[in-house]
Amino acid sequence: MVRHDVDGVAVLGLEGEVDYQSASALTRAMPRADADPGRRLVLDLSRVTFMDSSGVNALIGAHQARQPVQGWLRLAGVRGAVLRTLQLVGLDAVIVCCPSVEDAVRP
């Protein structure tokens, strides 16, 4: 995972599989929702090849944590099997999915 900030938005780049073994590491790597650079968070999923229910649950938790602090979570570069998974559970209708990080960090 690679983290950087773009105009006050935390961007976390993921790679590989987000599953039972890696979801807890993802949760720990995400900045706290009540921290200024963590209120607005973009997860770059363009290099993620697989996501199971553990990853979906981590995304739901991150999304819900940002609601009370007037923040948001956006996903960037979601495609292939990961996009299909998010569509199957309806998460793409709850969390904004953008084609790129550049699009996701825009206000």
Strands 2-6 and 9-18 come out as: antiparallel
pLDDT of residue 92: 96
CA distances from 53 to 17, 22, 103 (A): 12, 12, 26
| Alpha-carbon dihedral sign for residues 86, 76, 37, 12 | positive
Residue 91's CB is within 10 A of a number of other CB atoms, namely 18
Q: Which domains does the chain have, with CATH numbers?
A: 2-105 (3.30.750.24)
pLDDT of residue 37: 67
> Which parts of the chain sit beneath pLDDT 70?
37
Strands 72-76 and 9-18 come out as: unpaired
Q: Tell me the pTM.
A: 0.93
pLDDT of residue 73: 96
Give dist(CA 79, CA 47) in Å, integer. Answer: 9
